[in-house]
Amino acid sequence: MWDESTLSELSRRRELAMSGGGAERMEAQARKGKLTARQRLSILLDEGTFTEIGDMIMPRITDFGADKKSAPGDGVVTGCGKINGRLVFVYSEDFTVIGGTLGECHSKKICNIMDMAAQMRAPIIQLEDSGGARIEEGVSSLSGYSGIFLRNTRLSGVVPQIAVILGPCAGGACYSPAICDFIFMTKKTSLMFITGPQVVKSVTGESVTAEELGGAEMHREKSGVCHFVYDDDRECLLGVRKLLEYLPQNNSSAPSRVRGRETDDCAALEDKIPENPRKAYDVREVISAIADKDSFLEVQEDFAKNAVCGFFRLDGYTVGVVANQPSYMGGALDCGASDKLARFVRFADAFNVPLLTLVDVPAFLPGLREESMGIIRHGAKLLYAFSEASVPKVTVILRKAYGGAYIAMNSKEMGADIVLAWPIAQIAVMGAQGAADIIFKHRIASADDPAKEREICVKEYEDKFMNPWIAAQRGFVDEVIAPSETRSRIAAAFDLLREKKVAAIEKKHGNIPL
């Protein structure tokens, strides 16, 4: 028989690891509206599936009294578990232990889990709640971040990577989430910034609050860093579970088919979508009419509102959708919208998610501000993303499709497999008003009644070019369809493209215009 003290010691050490930074610090965490590292994992993962790895690791450093503040696990809980029955690897930083700061052993635990995720080809989810680099450990701490960033990059496009910001995430720590595919944040408790308010004040003289500098609302609406925002830890973690339902396990598999409530509300679109191209509507109504009922999950809803992207299901299959939003800025493409859509397209292509493009775009947004911000470079990202994507690609031209923006929104010659158009679609270099002023300039100027002649010229241009028939005759549109046929035609198109294979051109990698 074993000595009873041996097992008692095991129990004592396990209990010490489970207690994190102690009851007092856990209570302080709760007062801030935050869950503990282990409570978060219990919500994120299926019940009883978590297997912890490295729970008794301790830091080696003793300088500056670091040994008196340390605890088993070194401020991060790592392991694997299941979400809806699927294997995932996770790490959850523990703010109750030295502020969740990252040191040598802390980072080694994270890198170990990331390596296991690579070997098992399973998603990795990182729950961030950390004061950043552990100052007491100096360069070892910085080196730890380097190893994490390297693995984030190597895993990019191999397995889904999701970062969940549930507290502070400052300095170099921000770059690991930034390399991930999706970032989740919570209102009031999440913070992300490279330099905090005090440093900003001392360097630039600006007075700014932490929330203004790096809160969830700022990153959701202005910077575009964040993809999803929720009210609290629990809702945020349930949101992660929901997103994973649309994603595959890795780049060698496809998203699972999930039978839901199929519907077809496309017949109502003729009444909802104005024929007049100058009148606005919400493109989400079109997406909802096409999608299986209640299956649309929008990504970056409050950033670059002139574009909409997200996931939905069609006959149970996951589809990625990118669309212009006529109800905001007329649906014109600017720098933010180009980045938003390009990033989403590249994710979908990396993980075998078919792409639907809904087009109602007047132009790339003109003006000094956009040009000086590099609209040429940003717009080129969208062109590059669509051109490179090899997944099934279906495009539907709803109304306007003008100029370079028409090309950028996955036109036929940009690689769309199937292009459909509604009868009210207008495919042209520019709108009729501007085109008439250029083409018929002298005719209008020499007329007895220039205003009336201009109306005649506009009508003449509209009749000749502002319709889908010429594009269909020349093969740039595969089929003109009624709105009521939209869902069925899209479903049929994706069905025939299900086994699409594209031979890649041999090269190390392209040079996307970042």
Cβ proximity of 349 and 360 under 8 Å: no
Chain centroid, CA 104 distance in Å: 31
272 φψ region: left (φ > 0), alpha (ψ -120 to 50), beta (else) = alpha
**Does residue 187 belong to any structural domain of this protein?**
yes
Residue 232 and residue 349 share a domain = no
**Does residue 70 belong to any structural domain of this protein?**
yes
In tens, the pLDDT along 193-238 reads 998 898 898 999 899 999 999 999 999 999 999 999 999 999 999 9
Residue 301 and residue 234 share a domain = no
Structure tokens that stand for 97 in this block: 């232990």
Catalytic choice (147, 172, 260, 434): 172
d(CA 191, CA 94): 16
Residue 204 and residue 129 share a domain = yes
Task: Give the end of a domain, one of 214, 244, 274.
Answer: 244
How many domains does the chain divide into?
3
Q: Which of 19-33, 163-177, 341-355 has the lowest mean pLDDT?
A: 19-33
**Does residue 507 belong to any structural domain of this protein?**
no
Catalytic choice (157, 404, 415, 434): 404
Query: Average pLDDT of 144-160?
Result: 96
pLDDT at 11: 81
Active site residue 492: no
Catalytic choice (171, 215, 239, 379): 171
DSSP character at residue 468: S
Q: Which of 113-117, 260-264, 327-331 has the lowest mean pLDDT?
A: 260-264
Cβ burial 193-232 (10 Å sphere, 16+ → b, else e): beebbeebeeeeeeeeeeeebbbbbbbbbeebbbbbbbee
Q: What is the CATH number of the domain that holds 397?
A: 3.90.226.10
Query: Average pLDDT of 449-462?
Result: 80
d(CA 76, CA 94): 5
Residue 183 and residue 139 share a domain = yes
Catalytic choice (405, 416, 425, 493): 405
DSSP states along 200-268: HHHHH-----HHHHHBHHHIIIII---SEEESSHHHHHHHHHHHHTTS-SSTTS-PPP--------GGG
**Domain range spanning residue 439?**
432-465
Residue 22 above 90 pLDDT? no
Q: How crowded is residue 68: how many other Cβ atoms within 10 Å of its Cβ?
A: 7
Active site residue 75: no
Tell me what percent of the residues of the chain surpass a pLDDT of 70.
98
**Does residue 512 belong to any structural domain of this protein?**
no
Residue 330 and residue 306 share a domain = yes
Residue 481 and residue 457 share a domain = no
Active site residue 79: no
**Does residue 16 belong to any structural domain of this protein?**
no
**Does residue 509 belong to any structural domain of this protein?**
no
pTM of the model: 0.93
Give the number of residues written for the chain.
514
- Would you place residue 318 in the very low, low, confident or very high pLDDT band (cuts 50, 70, 90)? very high
Residue 157 and residue 102 share a domain = yes
Alpha-helical (H) ranges within 403-485 are: 403-408, 432-439, 441-445, 450-465, 469-473
Task: Kindly report the average pLDDT of the chain as a whole number.
Answer: 91
Three-state SS at 37: helix
pLDDT at 61: 67
Residue 164 above 80 pLDDT? yes
**Does residue 251 belong to any structural domain of this protein?**
no
Residue 324 and residue 225 share a domain = no
**Does residue 207 belong to any structural domain of this protein?**
yes
Active site residue 173: no
